[in-house]
Homo-oligomer: A and B are copies of this chain.
Amino acid sequence: MPLLLLKDLPRYECLLEGAKEFPDLDPSACEAFLHLLRTSDEVFSLVEEDLTVHGISHGRFGVLMLLWNPAQRRIDAAHAVGDCPTGPRTPAELADAAGVTRATMTGLIDTLERDGFVRREPDPKDRRMMSVLLTEKAERFLVGILPAHFKLMTRIMAPLSESERKTLVRLLTKVLENAGEISVPAIEPAPRPPLTC
**Residues of A participating in the B interface, judged by any CB pair closer than 8 Å:** 1-8, 10-11, 13-14, 17-18, 21-22, 24-26, 28-33, 35-44, 46, 49, 58-59, 62-63, 65-66, 70-71, 96-100, 104, 108, 146-148, 150-160, 162, 164-169, 171-180, 182-183, 192, 194-197
Contact call A6/B182, Cβ cutoff below 8 A: no
- Copies of this chain assembled into the complex: 2
Residues of chain B contacted by A147 (CB below 8 angstroms): 22, 24
Which B residues lie within 8 Å of A25 (CB)?
150
Q: Is the CB of B32 within 8 A of A168?
A: yes
Given A169-B31, A179-B39, A26-B98 contact (CB < 8 Å): no
User: Contact: A182 with B155, CB < 8 Å?
Assistant: yes
Residues on B with beta carbons closer than 8 Å to the beta carbon of A96: 7
Q: How far is the CA of A146 from the CA of B52 in the complex (A)?
A: 36
